[in-house]
Chains A and B, each alone.
Chain A
């Protein structure tokens, strides 16, 4: 078995926000640090590095995951999406716009992770209830907002998408 040490490097190709990206990282480099330091995607934030606060949440093959608990090397062959992928043509998407209009953010540090979890929720539970929204958000800690306006923004987006898709 090969002994891993800090000096050895892994040359990886990651698929981030729809684009292949070549990186060279230590075996121990977390996905979060790789995204931030190697790829300059600093929208993904580190709030605890224990997998609890949720600030570093990204989508891995469409599923919300803690990028602080995942090694960059494990992300090879998976599709990674970060907060930087959300705005379409530089314009805030509907979820981001709802956050803006309903004051769903204050300091903005936890926001990217929350947006990614809600992106997953909107995809897989398009008729999500307030309770489902709160349960999805319970994997995130926000010190600023009290969650009130985050919940409102999520529900508004769910309602808007439901209306634009017509009755199911």
Chain B
């Protein structure tokens, strides 16, 4: 170790994944098709709320190629419970809140699966699904989360006592007194929408029972292979070892695959029951209808400030639209609430949250997981206060940021685990200053005036964002040296496009002083490692990375012990280099890893080297104690057309601190993607429902995702403040880029339209709304001029 040629961590190592993917040799779930595969299609509710009165499958069953039509009653016979288990069991939530595998009697959102049809092809299965007749009795619909809490509101499900799923408060300090006595208080209402996750590969599962191993094989596009294994095993009454989940190439997750879905249980149950492969690959419309979304939050908040802009307190309420069911928990709402004060020191904070049910698909976090919304509230309030108090937007942030010298900074807020939130490391102000210098903030007013003289409205906006990453309780990492001397790493972490396998290979290669190419990484296969949590919450490099690092160090220690015995020298005289343990004083005396691995596999009749143990391998389940907080500061320049409300991004600069970077190339890519996801949330992505909760945007032509023409060059810089809480000093990266984007763009739009006193309070920014704000301001100005 220590040799430059072994320093893999921090290098821009090209990704091991790419060559196959570029040749079209990637293998996603849809690409697997064992002989005899039956294809599943689902009959889905066309109503947002209705009773199922009758199901007639006779016409479908008569169609050639339709092999089975399975309704809730039949499905119930295959399962321990027709209702999905609550993903993360919690005593804080009421009972009976999860969706059904197939809904027996009452449908509660458009797209809810009722019947599964199995056919010889997807074409035939869809024909069959279209031929299943279902009679419904429509029920009153709860389409609007704000109306859902009114006493007159109909019930979202007949079984619920009320539409409010859960109320909770977070906060600290005496907000009441602070707000009463503060010299300045400003109130705002914010409406924040985030659409769906929309990985380019949708959900999908292929299930196949292999009788010779008594194993149900699942090829799954999932973020949580072990959770899927455990959930399917329990539902079918099997032990875990009889279900094997293999995630092949996964075409993105972004939250869409961060839950176990009814369709997955249905497909697994059908394959197990029919003893025939069953495959379901959702189409995009199904993703719009029935995959998770993040959707709507309605905030009413007030900020109390001193005249110098020092924040004294923030108080408010938030209403979170959870949808019809709660398959996993309410962490999206909780994250948003606890994320508000972010990188700032706020003496008093009080937020009252209502999680409300509506007749819409259920909410699970999308990339960012509530943090962008909490951040938006804080950054918008600071902009508002700055404007009202006549303080520069950069200065008001400077006056409230937690400083480098205050780190680690314990916030008086608690995570769901009960632990305090601790900002562990970083230089937030330094990042702000660096980025504002890069965008020539001090010269911007002049440029803005010059543009205005040409009739162009340009604006500069910026925002901070922090997020706790590396969520526990653990992730698994195993490191094994094969008898050919090469290294195999297995982890319960899940690769879905990030380059996880390359990063894990770099970590193992560094500890074992081998080329990165000598490390083979297996992720997402429950047969290779018995436990795992999976890919979400920007957690994997922190948790799996630490486990792989520590496991590799254990293997390295074993190599030294075995080498010392075989060379008959003290361990202290040995070093690892070039795939061998080498006598430092005489490099000709060496033992290859391959030889040690072969000996530690055991030779019948001969003893193992003493004190080493069998097998050149180690498994570690590293448990984080504290979250590693990532920070980003973003600045962007926009041009707004005040007539059309069109917003054009002219420049985008970001500085991120994700601690030690394992692979800066991959990290840049993660931030690029995160930023553009945020641009979509700021300007384009809107999952529209009508007043009957009928989805109105069910193609990518209606639901707009950001394309290359809307994105300027993305300028991304890094600082590296190592996280103190893990052995590599790493922090998460996957969601980091998304957190500050909506805030920065809103701030830039405000700035561009400051002549009109426009304030962006809702996202995505609808151009018609924006143009309307400008027109209103002009009318008012005209009215004042005329009086």
Question: B83-113 vs A: 1/0 string, CB under 8 Å?
Answer: 0000000000000000000000000000000
Say yes or no: is B589 at the interface (Cβ < 8 Å to chain A).
no
Question: B705-721 vs A: 1/0 string, CB under 8 Å?
Answer: 10111010110000000
Of B17, B19, B251, B675, most buried by chain A (CB within 10 Å of CB) is: B251
Give chain B residues whose Cβ lies under 8 Å from the Cβ of A26.
Answer: 123
Stretch at the interface among A8-16, A59-67, A121-129, A136-144: A136-144
Give chain B residues whose Cβ lies under 8 Å from the Cβ of A49.
Answer: 283-284
Question: B16-33 vs A: 1/0 string, CB under 8 Å?
Answer: 011101111111101101
Given known contacts A99-B22, A112-B24, A149 and B669 CB-to-CB distance under 8 angstroms: yes
Given known contacts A92-B19, A109-B201, A134-B709, A141 and B31 CB-to-CB distance under 8 angstroms: no
Give chain A residues whose Cβ lies under 8 Å from the Cβ of B379.
Answer: none
Say yes or no: is A111 at the interface (Cβ < 8 Å to chain B).
yes
Contact partner of A143 (CB less than 8 A), chosen from B127, B249, B252, is: B252
Q: Which of A127-159 contact B (CB under 8 A)?
A: 133-135, 137-151
Q: How far is the CB of A117 from chain B (nearest CB, A)?
A: 11
The distance in angstroms between the C-alpha atoms of A22 and B251, with both chains bound, is 31
Given known contacts A42-B31, A108-B26, A111-B21, A53 and B700 CB-to-CB distance under 8 angstroms: yes
Contact yes or no, B497 A108, CB < 8 A: yes
Give chain A residues whose Cβ lies under 8 Å from the Cβ of B666.
Answer: 103
Say yes or no: is B605 at the interface (Cβ < 8 Å to chain A).
no
The secondary structure that dominates the A interface is loop
Contact yes or no, B23 A142, CB < 8 A: no
Contact partner of B700 (CB less than 8 A), chosen from A48, A100, A144, is: A48
| Minimal Cβ-Cβ distance residue in B for A93 | B22
Given known contacts A107-B199, A107-B496, A48 and B711 CB-to-CB distance under 8 angstroms: no
| Minimal Cβ-Cβ distance residue in A for B127 | A6
Q: How far is the CB of B199 from chain A (nearest CB, A)?
A: 6
Contact yes or no, B23 A84, CB < 8 A: yes
Contact yes or no, B284 A53, CB < 8 A: yes
Q: Which of B475-501 contact A (CB under 8 A)?
A: 496-499
| Minimal Cβ-Cβ distance residue in A for B709 | A138
Give chain B residues whose Cβ lies under 8 Å from the Cβ of A45.
Answer: 28, 30, 200-201, 251
| Minimal Cβ-Cβ distance residue in B for A112 | B24
Question: A46-75 vs B: 1/0 string, CB under 8 Å?
Answer: 111110110100000000000000000000
Contact yes or no, A150 B708, CB < 8 A: yes
The distance in angstroms between the C-alpha atoms of A138 and B708, with both chains bound, is 5
Instruction: Count chain A residues whose beta carbon lies closer than 8 angstroms to a beta carbon of B.
Output: 58
Give chain A residues whose Cβ lies under 8 Å from the Cβ of B668.
Answer: 103, 149
Contact partner of A147 (CB less than 8 A), chosen from B199, B496, B711, is: B711
Q: Which of A10-56 contact B (CB under 8 A)?
A: 26, 28-29, 36-37, 41-50, 52-53, 55
The secondary structure that dominates the B interface is loop
Given known contacts A50-B284, A103-B666, A148-B711, A111 and B23 CB-to-CB distance under 8 angstroms: no
Question: B421-445 vs A: 1/0 string, CB under 8 Å?
Answer: 0000000000000000000000000
Contact yes or no, A143 B708, CB < 8 A: no
Question: A105-123 vs B: 1/0 string, CB under 8 Å?
Answer: 1111111100100000000
Given known contacts A6-B127, A107-B200, A86 and B249 CB-to-CB distance under 8 angstroms: no
Give chain A residues whose Cβ lies under 8 Å from the Cβ of B701.
Answer: 50, 52
Question: B194-213 vs A: 1/0 string, CB under 8 Å?
Answer: 00001111100000000000
Contact yes or no, B251 A109, CB < 8 A: yes
Contact yes or no, B707 A137, CB < 8 A: yes
Instruction: Classify chain B: how many residues form its interface, as a range.
Output: 35 or more
Give chain A residues whose Cβ lies under 8 Å from the Cβ of B251.
Answer: 45, 107-109
Question: B233-276 vs A: 1/0 string, CB under 8 Å?
Answer: 00000000000000001111010000000000000000000000
Contact yes or no, B713 A148, CB < 8 A: yes
Given known contacts A43-B26, A92-B23, A99-B18, A106 and B711 CB-to-CB distance under 8 angstroms: no
Contact yes or no, B699 A144, CB < 8 A: no
Say yes or no: is B676 at the interface (Cβ < 8 Å to chain A).
yes
Contact yes or no, A146 B673, CB < 8 A: yes
Give chain A residues whose Cβ lies under 8 Å from the Cβ of B676.
Answer: 145-147
Say yes or no: is B354 at the interface (Cβ < 8 Å to chain A).
no
Contact yes or no, A6 B124, CB < 8 A: yes
Give chain B residues whose Cβ lies under 8 Å from the Cβ of A99.
Answer: 18, 22
Say yes or no: is B672 at the interface (Cβ < 8 Å to chain A).
yes
Say yes or no: is B665 at the interface (Cβ < 8 Å to chain A).
yes
Say yes or no: is B450 at the interface (Cβ < 8 Å to chain A).
no
Say yes or no: is B62 at the interface (Cβ < 8 Å to chain A).
no
Say yes or no: is A80 at the interface (Cβ < 8 Å to chain B).
no
| Minimal Cβ-Cβ distance residue in B for A152 | B713
Give chain A residues whose Cβ lies under 8 Å from the Cβ of B700.
Answer: 48, 50, 52-53, 141
Of B26, B33, B701, most buried by chain A (CB within 10 Å of CB) is: B26
Give chain B residues whose Cβ lies under 8 Å from the Cβ of A140.
Answer: 707-708
The distance in angstroms between the C-alpha atoms of A108 and B21, with both chains bound, is 6
Contact partner of A145 (CB less than 8 A), chosen from B25, B64, B673, B705, is: B673
Give chain A residues whose Cβ lies under 8 Å from the Cβ of B24.
Answer: 41-44, 82-84, 86, 112
Of B199, B200, B673, most buried by chain A (CB within 10 Å of CB) is: B200
The distance in angstroms between the C-alpha atoms of A103 and B14, with both chains bound, is 8
Contact yes or no, A143 B498, CB < 8 A: no
Contact partner of A106 (CB less than 8 A), chosen from B22, B202, B669, is: B669
Q: How far is the CB of A26 from chain B (nearest CB, A)?
A: 7
Of A84, A109, A141, most buried by chain B (CB within 10 Å of CB) is: A109
Contact yes or no, A115 B64, CB < 8 A: no
Q: Which of A76-96 contact B (CB under 8 A)?
A: 82-84, 86-87, 92, 96
Contact yes or no, A146 B672, CB < 8 A: yes
Contact partner of A107 (CB less than 8 A), chosen from B31, B201, B714, is: B201
Of A36, A100, A143, A144, most buried by chain B (CB within 10 Å of CB) is: A143
Q: How far is the CB of B711 from chain A (nearest CB, A)?
A: 5
| Minimal Cβ-Cβ distance residue in B for A141 | B705
| Minimal Cβ-Cβ distance residue in B for A139 | B707
Given known contacts A49-B283, A149-B672, A43 and B25 CB-to-CB distance under 8 angstroms: yes
Contact yes or no, A134 B23, CB < 8 A: no
12 A–B contacts from the bound complex (CB under 8 Å)? A45-B30, A45-B201, A46-B283, A47-B201, A47-B284, A52-B699, A83-B23, A100-B15, A103-B665, A134-B711, A146-B669, A146-B674
- By a beta-carbon cutoff of 8 Å, the part of chain B in contact with chain A is 14-15, 17-19, 21-28, 30-31, 33, 64, 123-124, 127, 198-202, 249-252, 254, 283-285, 496-499, 665-666, 668-669, 672-677, 699-701, 705, 707-709, 711, 713-714
* Besides A45-B28, A145-B672, 4 other A-B contacts (C-beta < 8 A): A47-B202, A49-B284, A86-B24, A138-B707
Top-7 shortest CB links A-B: A43-B24, A107-B497, A109-B251, A108-B21, A146-B672, A146-B676, A83-B24
